[in-house]
Structure 1
Amino acid sequence: MPRPLLTARVAALREQRIAQQRLRLRRTVLRRDGMRCEVQDAGGGSRWLLDFCGNDYLGLARHYSVAGALQDAAARTGAGGVASHLVCGHRTEHVALERAVADWLQAPAALLLGSGYAANLAVVQALLGKDDVCVQDRLNHASLIDGARLAGCALRRYPHADAEAALRQLRAAPEGAALLASDGVFSMDGDVAPLRALALVARAQRATLYIDEAHAIGVLGETGRGSVAAAGLDHGAVPLRLVTLGKALGSYGALVVGDADLVRHLAETARPYIYTTALPPALAAAALAAVQRARRDEWRREQLAARVRQFREGARRLGLPLLDSDTPIQPLLCGSDANALAMAAALEHKGLWVAAIRPPTVPEGSARLRITLSAGHAPRDVEQLLDALAVVRDAVAAGATPAAHA
């Protein structure tokens, strides 16, 4: 019996990914202990690896105050969100988190959503329509691009970090509302957007500037208020920001923070907010504990910055081809997909877990190791990684590495 066309297409596309060395496989983490994790292997066994690919930048995901807040709130409120916020799912824990994050970022209002992806869809879909334009950095997160497609607006993408090109795109746009959107810290390159220049462009063209702070919040700026604060800007210049809770804040969910009228409009009209169950109150309580810890634990940012400096100085001595980044995201260019996979496999053989990132996540020809650092890493951990990278680089060049993980 012939297979349905869709099934045949899916099978053919998978074979194509295998041939291109772009198959993505999930790895199962059995246990975590600090920055080490026990990972199941393909044969059913497991091994402990030192994690250099997660986004727990401040080491809060397993902190006792965050986990304790989760457990205490779950005992009071249960495991689920019960209903959407506009039905009967809006709880005091959600309100407390929204108020705390708005206060932290010195903004009028905040709205809690289920994930950063959903939040970006919500913002663009609720604010723009077919007669409007969304101008974006070419290296923005996929959720911002998908949000523009969902909105049905015109999508214009400018060369990475080129504010003058953004200006040209806005000037050439048709009449209608304009949203200028950019990551604050770019998730695969680790560099920071030219926010002051983008703010000037948005003001000159009467566009609304929206910044995705996913990889900046908790890490950059005074008390970890993100890339907008680090650039000396406020909510007047940047009316909307995205704050994710699943990276430096070690929890789950996201908030859109900024202008009260815009935030209220999202709460009343954004489909990813209206038509989904509220975040479990216990997760909101855990995130609130993480926000409080991130605000006051300046030593975590200092320790993280020290690990970044240590790694970059060591990589420079070794001649490793890093991209220009002073954030916890440290991309090491590998050239081909095969090289990136081989280096990741060789590092895993040495007990280190580093992600090989390939197209379409990054542009063609720019496969890389995405090395991420955390306040939870000790100096000896970074030295172990540097020593391994020096050996692995030479082994890949000589063609002598373990079989690559797809």
Structure 2
Amino acid sequence: MTIKRKCLKAFKKINTNEHISVLYVEDQIDIQEELSDILSMFVDEVHIASNGKEGLEVFQKINPDLIITDIQMPVMTGLEMISEIRKKNKTIPIIVTSAFNKTDYLLKAIDLGVEHYLLKPIMVNKLENCLNKIKTYLFQQRELEAYQHYLEDRVEEEVVLREAKEALLIEQNKSYEIGQMVSVIAHQWKQPLHYLNLLIEDLGMEYDYQPLTPEYIKDFIQKGTNRIQFLANTMDNFLSFYKTNKNKTNFFISHVVKEVALFLEMSYKSQGIHIDIIIKDDYALYGIENEFQQVVLNLINNAKEAFDGQKRIDAKITIVISIDEKKGKLTIKDNAGGIKYENISKIFQLEFTTKEGGNGIGLYLVKKIVEERFKGSIIVSNQEEGAQFELEFNINEGNKNV
């Protein structure tokens, strides 16, 4: 069902308010009484005032739907009252009644936005015709307002649902990243643990064949402590890397890039992939640093995965930070051969993936975060050796760190 049909269906449930209240301003008592009785046949409430000053006071008190007023009255004329009312309400329908068919009265009434001008004595059929037109207008306006409120509620609901969905996607992607990072930690821990094992075996052999000297014990403790400290630092880096921080701050691009690269470096080196960081001009962004961290991590991991199945001795991921014409740029490129032509236009689509076991969330979130959180842009292209992702952000002089 389309939104339009949903709206129309919802409209049938709206109990349109057809209640109409009228402020009638007339100084001649006999005409006032006669016309107020007639008005009662067509509207729900009739409020009476005997001059423009009283009419203005009643208007401010009851806020009527429609005003009917004479022109020539003591204390304040009808046109003077209308002029004051128009300062507060420019849209309320107004009918002017008068025994004088003067052009200057008519022109002044038109200037004040008067809808109808009725000559006295007032013909009931003409009055009824005017009222029916105004009532139709009022009902249409009320329906339009109800329709607008309905759409506003729908938009608000959709925004909440979209934000909830995006939050879920971010958490899913983060879980996926954590799984990858755990494998990185396992790899980084494997060599130090193996070294510690050899160190302990060597201690046993040394004890069996010769006395342990203070120098040997000191060297043993130093080497063991260094490896244990490395393991602890690796875990601290992991916990720090995934520490949730929703506060917006100013942060430099180079800090985030170096932090991510440092965490990945050893694992990537073991796979024969070199990360090269080139800082031409550094700059700062304002936002949630953890979110930008996700952007960099996803793009570097995407570049790394492009080498899967390849046996290259020169595999390289190049990251360039620069400023060009007051635009901060971050370029991440690889030499893995590039993206297939038929896939490049779909690379940022939700759930699109070319990787076995991939979730199709990472690059979708990269684009969302760059564009919506940091008001930047991202484009992907194939260069001579491989794929290139180029991010661009608006910066000012205060955000440069040359």
Report the TM-score when normalising by structure 1: 0.21
Whose helix proportion is higher, 1 or 2? 2
Question: Which structure would you say has the larger Rg?
Answer: 2
Q: Which has the higher contact order (CA 8 A, sep 6+)?
A: 1
